[in-house]
Amino acid sequence: MEYLPQDLIYEIVLRLPVKGLIRFSFVSKLWKAVIYSKDFIKEHQQRRSINNSKKDFTLIRHGVQSGDFHHFYAASFSADTLEEEQQIEHPIYSLEEEYGLGLHTRIITVCHGLVLLGVLCRKATSNYVHLYVWNPVIAKHRYISQPIWPEGEDSHFTYGIGYHCDEDDLKVLVLRQTGRRPIWKIQFIVCSVATGQWKRITKLPPSNLQVNIFCYYNMVSLSDSRVAWLMADVDYMDLYHVVTFDLVKEEYNTYRVPISIRGPGAITLMELGGFLCFRHGQNIWFMKDSSWSTEPIPLNNSRPLFFDGERFLLSRFSGDHKELFWYNIKTQDHQHVTRTGDYAGSFDGATTQTAFICGGNLRFLLDGQPDLYAYFCRP
């Protein structure tokens, strides 16, 4: 390939998906130099954002139990066909370390193709969560060193990651609440993934809202440099608010959840098809023009995994029977997902978390720590 003109190589690789770029970077040093150049990455990202049909993505799951361990699994989804899932090694530590140190990993959220992972040491005396930003497509990650929090305090955390469009940088967010009603304190800090520097946000959410200490709620990344999360109203039982934070303007907006919520885990906040929404029972509530509208899910015991603007990707698990469906909200038709092989475990298990990587991202963590196992980077 060395004899091909560089401008022709540029045009060839510009048309490849991100996973194809990773594999083609092994062809020659020249191709690798072209693929990892800043100008190429920027142009490829712009073209992909225009042409991306949201039908090609990678499904990554963690928490699927096998024996004493919870594993990662990955499968590519292209042209409405799901490839057979493959078990992949943990990107940060080995199974021996997981067992010996009592480590537990959780997928917190996803932003621009990067995954925020939280690692908890069960043998430690504190509930300190170690944060890692992981780019699975290029098989690199970065440890986000948090401030040293005082021990012995009754603390509850909400974590997230978002994109700051003006700085072209990813931001890791930590909302910490100490104490309980009627006296508590909230701290809000934001870390630049590029520099590793933390910044304290002095303006805080409304004082009548608190982190729900009984539920594992984390932030959701939105496409317009905002993140969102749920907070409980201290004055009214069963009343929740969705709080959004603009990373550029450093401003909040709050939206009252239009229904009463009772019981831990009764509501799930998510981003689907570019919309901020939450799931409650068999209904999906979408935020459109600062107001909520609902969309019923037609299948019993189903769970929304993805939304491409017209269709939901739904999972249903009953006994040993696992199913994936597409449901078109306009035609109200549903069809089974074509798959080339089986998928392991349940999509709906209490310990299973799912991340969707649409296309992938070459722009972030090029200088990160290499993963222990590079699933996507094999030549």
- Summarised one tens digit per residue, pLDDT across range 252-283 is 999 998 888 776 556 788 888 788 988 877 78
CATH number of this structure's domain 52-370: 2.120.10.80
Give the Cβ contact number of residue 60 at 10 Å. Answer: 22
**CB within 8 A of 6, min separation 6: which ones?**
30, 34
User: The pTM is what?
Assistant: 0.85
**Residue 166: what residue type?**
D
Domain ranges of the chain: 1-51, 52-370
Q: Do residues 198 and 191 make contact, with C-beta atoms less than 8 angstroms apart?
A: yes
Residue 379 pLDDT: 40
**CB within 8 A of 115, min separation 6: which ones?**
60, 107, 108, 109, 133, 134, 135, 136, 355, 357
- Summarised one tens digit per residue, pLDDT across range 114-163 is 899 988 877 666 667 889 999 887 888 899 988 877 766 778 889 999 99
For residues 379 and 373, give the distance between their C-alpha atoms in angstroms, rounded to a whole number. Answer: 13
- Summarised one tens digit per residue, pLDDT across range 26-54 is 777 877 887 878 788 878 777 766 555 55
